[in-house]
Amino acid sequence: MLTDHHCHVLPSIDDGSDSVETSLAMLDMMKQQGVERVVFTPHFYAHREKSVESFLEKRRAAFEAIKDSSPIKDMLLGAEVAVEHGISELKDIEKLAIHGTKLILMEFPYRGYKEWMSEEIYNISAEFGLTIVYAHIHRYTEYFTKEQLERVLSSESVYQINNEAFGSFRSRRFVKKLMKEGYSLIFGSDAHNTTSRRPNWDLLARKCSREDIENSDGTIEKYLV
């Protein structure tokens, strides 16, 4: 079941889709590209939200606005959780895991690596028994040193790859290295709209082996609650 594990399709909740119409157009594009299951992962920034619960209410309303009209019927709710100071102590943080699973998608800041980032992530994993999914890990080759990346890759986690990585020689080489070394990888479009950041499963289909895509697609079932 071809699964998009990371996208910003829910309408008017973050910097992704700006309307129900855009959301449905994105989902239609995904379906035409073979996607059968979608994990909705709107951005969650603790410093911008009143609480986890208020975010969940906004997410629920956005989902309700599209669910009956979506051309893809297998849909899961999650979030892309930004790593911030104190995030592990935020009330209800565990509720941002992908619904029905032990997986939580987390995004590093776009700057140099600091030890506190891993400490926050570890605390969430240990406290709630969750498995961390590192969002678009290939992007951090620009910000982290080789040693820092190895520190992140040493954890027993899942690493999410944007399909776009296969359009860049540098990113593709990094991802192929992870594949060769047996890391648990999942794919996502990280789609935000229908133009500049559209669903791009056609790119992945051209550049990635069927076996690697199937391995990605089977990941959710391994982490069901």
Output the domain CATH number for residue 198: 3.20.20.140
Answer whether 0.95 is exceeded by the pTM.
Answer: yes
Specify the pLDDT at position 166.
95
Place of tokens 């104190």: 86
In this predicted structure, what is the pLDDT of residue 167?
Answer: 94
C-alpha angle 12-15-18 in degrees, rounded to nearest 5: 35
Burial of 224 (0-12, 13-18, 19+ CB in 10 A): exposed
| Sign of CA pseudo-dihedral 216, 18, 142, 157 | negative
Q: pLDDT at position 154, please?
A: 93
What DSSP character marks residue 160? E
Q: Is the dihedral of CA 140, 146, 152, 155 positive or negative?
A: positive
What is the extent of the structural domain holding 24?
3-222
Q: What is the pLDDT along the chain (225 residues), one digit of tens a residue?
A: 999 999 999 999 999 999 999 999 999 999 999 999 999 999 999 999 999 999 999 999 999 999 999 999 999 999 999 999 999 999 999 999 999 999 999 999 999 999 999 999 999 999 999 999 999 999 999 999 999 999 999 999 999 999 999 999 999 999 999 999 999 999 999 999 999 999 999 999 999 999 999 999 999 999 999
- Number of separate domains in the chain: 1
Cross-sheet strand order for the sheet of 37-40: 3-4, 37-40, 74-77
Phi, psi of 28 (to 5 degrees): -65, -40
